[in-house]
Structure 1
């Protein structure tokens, strides 16, 4: 079998229902013929240890280069639009301050002046460093959805 045809994940997914011996790989002596899912995972991990598979990063790049390039272009356009937007907002802010206008509305938009203020924030990193036990006691897990970070260089 040519393992270089597969990424590690592709190979395992395709052979999920098989045993390593079905593809001429060594099995652990504790095999229970698929009765214990955890043992099967350990057996597979042991069987493919040291096998060189196709590089998943290269496969990803080959399959997604156009999509990635489209995202790069969209990010560059977004950055240009955002810079222009920020500049326009700064100009409007200055004009509202000059004329003492707090709110302006018409049938297309409304703009409100929000005064600057000073607030306080909690330095959780410093608190965690100085009081790790208390930090742990009052911390609770938060679930974050999967996402990507994309940066145009």
Structure 2
């Protein structure tokens, strides 16, 4: 169950998506998640934790760095950094793939495949010449 303050935060972001509060909350979400991960794990941290921390750092860059540039460059920076974060998560979790839900429940692969194709299908017409990068991005997110 969500707390009253978290419901207010979510509703505020829905009602005022371009507000300074939304930017600030977006800038601090990944560092807070990283701090939580550091606090619940002990040193020396294993490869999964370190990889997740790196991915959270790259995600943070994807959330905050595009605010430093304008226009298409900001969007490309956002997408590029989020893609790098996804690739980092894939590398971090790769050693655990044998115990993945995709291995233990193979029918889930169909759901992920459907979601990737649906994402590409929805975005393809608007993507134009960027349809191939969109497909690559969707595949990495679905990995």
TM-score normalised per structure 2: 0.20
Bigger Rg, structure 1 or 2: 1
* Greater helix content: 2
